[in-house]
A and B are shown apart, each in its own frame.
Chain A
Amino acid sequence: MAKLIAPGLWRQVPSPFCGIGVDDLTVRVGDDGAVTVEERGDPVTRAGFEQPLGDKTPRIDGRPVSLEAAVGRAAELLRAASLPLVAGLAADVNGVRAALSLADRLGAVVDAADSEALLRNLLVLQDSGWMTCTLAEVKNRADLIVMVGGGLERGFPRFFERHVWVDGMFVRADERRVIHLGQAPSAAGRPSPGKAPEVLACDDAHLPQVLAVLRALVKGEAVAAEAVGGIPVARLAELAESLKAARYGVLVWAAASWNWPHAELAVQTLCELIKEVNRTTRCSGLPLGGKNGSQTAVQVCGWQSGYPLRIRFSRGIPEYDPYLNATERLLGEGEVDALVWLAAFDGGQTPPPAEIPTIVVGRCGMTFSRPPAVFIPVGCPGIDHPGHAYRTDNVVALRLYQLRSVGLPSGAEVIRAIERRL
Chain B
Amino acid sequence: MLIKLKGGTVYDPAHGIDGQVRDLYVQDGRIVEPPPGARVDREYDLSGKIVMAGAIDMHTHIGGGKVNIARVMLPEDHRADPQYHTELLRSGCGHAAPSTWTTGYRYAEMGFTTAFEPAVLPINARQAHMEMGDIPILDKGGYAMLGSDDFLLRMLRDGADQKAVNDYVAWTLHATQCIGIKVVNPGGISAFKFNQRALDLDERHEYYGVTPRQVLKTLATAVHELGVPHPLHVHGCNLGVPGNVETTLKTISGIEGLPIHLTHIQFHSYGTEGDFKFSSGAARIAEAVNANPNVTVDVGQILFGQTVTASGDTMKQHANASHAHPKKWVCMDIECDAGCGVVPFKYRDQNFVNALQWAIGLEIFLLVDDPWRVFLTTDHPNGAPFTSYPHLIRLLMDRTFRNEQLSRLHPEAQKMTTLASIEREYSLYEIAIMTRAGAARLVGLQDRGHLGPGAAADITVYTPDDDVERMFAKPAYVFKDGELVVKDGEIVHVTWGTTHTVKPDYDSAIEKPLADYFDRYLTMKLDNFIIRDEEIAEDGRGSITVHPCGGRG
Interface residues of A (CB under 8 A from B): 1-3, 12, 14, 20-21, 23-24, 93-94, 97, 101, 104-105, 107, 122, 125-137, 139-141, 162-163, 168-170, 247-248, 278, 281-282, 284, 298-299, 302-308, 313, 316-320, 386, 388, 393-399
A127 to B98, CA, bound (A): 19
Q: Which of B158-166, B322-330, B373-381 contacts A (4 or more CB under 8 A)?
A: B322-330
Q: Which of B84-92, B292-300, B352-360, B429-437 contacts A (4 or more CB under 8 A)?
A: B84-92
Q: Is the interface of B mostly helix, strand, loop or mixed?
A: mixed
Contact A396 B207 (CB under 8 A): no
A308 to B63, CA, bound (A): 16
**In-complex Cβ contact of B336 among A12, A24, A137, A398 (8 A):** A137
**In-complex Cβ contact of B134 among A137, A298, A303, A313 (8 A):** A303
A278 to B531, CA, bound (A): 35
Q: Is B492's CB within 8 Å of the partner chain A?
A: no
Least Cβ–Cβ distance between B523 and chain A, in angstroms? 5
Contact A12 B334 (CB under 8 A): no
**Given A23-B525, A397-B127, A131:B91 Cβ within 8 A:** no
Contact A318 B93 (CB under 8 A): yes
Q: Is B287's CB within 8 Å of the partner chain A?
A: no
* Complex interface: chain B residues within 8 A of A398 (CB): 524, 528
Q: Is B21's CB within 8 Å of the partner chain A?
A: no
Contact A137 B73 (CB under 8 A): no
A128 to B530, CA, bound (A): 35
**In-complex Cβ contact of A137 among B92, B97, B328, B334 (8 A):** B334
Least Cβ–Cβ distance between B75 and chain A, in angstroms? 5
Q: Is B522's CB within 8 Å of the partner chain A?
A: yes
**Given A23-B528, A248-B193, A399-B528, A306:B92 Cβ within 8 A:** yes
**Given A14-B528, A303-B68, A395-B124, A128:B93 Cβ within 8 A:** no
Q: For B103, give the chain A residue with the smallest CB separation.
A: A303
Contact A298 B72 (CB under 8 A): yes
Known: A170-B207, A302-B72. 7 other contacts (CB 8 A): A12-B525, A12-B528, A128-B327, A134-B332, A136-B521, A282-B195, A396-B523
A132 to B66, CA, bound (A): 13
Q: Could you pull out 12 A-B pairs where Cβ atoms are within 8 angstroms?
A: A107-B85, A127-B328, A128-B327, A131-B330, A132-B330, A247-B194, A282-B193, A307-B72, A316-B85, A388-B126, A388-B535, A397-B127
**Given A122-B72, A304-B92, A317-B91, A399:B535 Cβ within 8 A:** yes
Contact A317 B101 (CB under 8 A): no
Interface positions of B from 276 to 319, Cβ below 8 Å from A: 318
For the complex of A and B, the 6 pairs showing the least CB-CB separation, nearest first, are A306-B93, A317-B82, A129-B328, A133-B333, A306-B78, A136-B335
Q: How many residues of B contact A (CB 8 A)?
A: 66
Q: Is B417's CB within 8 Å of the partner chain A?
A: no
**In-complex Cβ contact of A397 among B67, B130, B333 (8 A):** B130
A320 to B77, CA, bound (A): 12
**Given A97-B134, A136-B522, A318-B91, A12:B527 Cβ within 8 A:** yes
A310 to B331, CA, bound (A): 25
Q: For A107, give the chain B residue with the smallest CB separation.
A: B85
**In-complex Cβ contact of A278 among B84, B130, B318, B539 (8 A):** B318
* Complex interface: chain A residues within 8 A of B335 (CB): 134-137, 393, 395-396
Most buried by B among A134, A140, A170: A134
A81 to B372, CA, bound (A): 57
**Given A101-B90, A306-B93, A137:B330 Cβ within 8 A:** no
Contact A128 B63 (CB under 8 A): no
A216 to B246, CA, bound (A): 41
Least Cβ–Cβ distance between B528 and chain A, in angstroms? 5
A140 to B134, CA, bound (A): 34
A308 to B68, CA, bound (A): 10
1/0 per residue B170-185: CB within 8 Å of A?
0000000000000000
Contact A307 B134 (CB under 8 A): no
Q: For B82, give the chain A residue with the smallest CB separation.
A: A317
* Complex interface: chain A residues within 8 A of B528 (CB): 1-2, 12, 14, 23, 398-399
**Given A247-B195, A317-B91, A125:B69 Cβ within 8 A:** yes
Least Cβ–Cβ distance between A106 and chain B, in angstroms? 10
Contact B99 A306 (CB under 8 A): yes
